[in-house]
Amino acid sequence: GENVEQHPSTLSVQEGDSAVIKCTYSDSASNYFPWYKQELGKGPQLIIDIRSNVGEKKDQRIAVTLNKTAKHFSLHITETQPEDSAVYFCAASRGAGGTSYGKLTFGQGTILTVHP
């Protein structure tokens, strides 16, 4: 089955710096890659996603890049703020059908701490 590896497991940055989190996936049929932010006591919140026909997507301070050949994708957060501190998860899924319906395979998470 699909396996998603996420690095680093913890990341500490100063306010205003950039943060980069990387994920690799094993299933070449995966074609959808969302990123979630989870704050203490809350469920994961979608922050950005990318589909396999796109190499890069940006939304204000957040961007995601996808390299299908190398089977890895990355989250970039610029001008970090203390409120960006949370656990970030990458995930991957393949198209619908068979064992694919509704299934996201998650990375192990990155604890991001932004120091004021």
Q: Which residues bind another protein (CB under 8 A)?
A: 31-32, 34, 36, 41-46, 49, 51, 89, 91, 93, 95-96, 99-109
Nearer to another protein, 16 or 95 (CB): 95
Nearer to another protein, 3 or 18 (CB): 3
Structure token digits, residue 89: 């998860």
Q: Measured from the CB of residue 90, what is the shortest distance to another protein in angstroms?
A: 11
Structure token digits, residue 58: 């940006």
Q: Measured from the CB of residue 84, what is the shortest distance to another protein in angstroms?
A: 19
Nearer to another protein, 18 or 108 (CB): 108
**Could you give the CA distance from residue 52 to residue 113 in angstroms, rounded to a whole number?**
30
**Could you give the CA distance from residue 77 to residue 109 in angstroms, rounded to a whole number?**
15
**Could you give the CA distance from residue 87 to residue 106 in angstroms, rounded to a whole number?**
12
Instruction: List residues bridging with 46 in a β-sheet.
Output: 36
Nearer to another protein, 13 or 111 (CB): 111
Q: Measured from the CB of residue 79, what is the shortest distance to another protein in angstroms?
A: 26
Number of helices (H) and strands (E) in the chain: give both, helices first.
0, 11
Q: Measured from the CB of residue 53, what is the shortest distance to another protein in angstroms?
A: 10
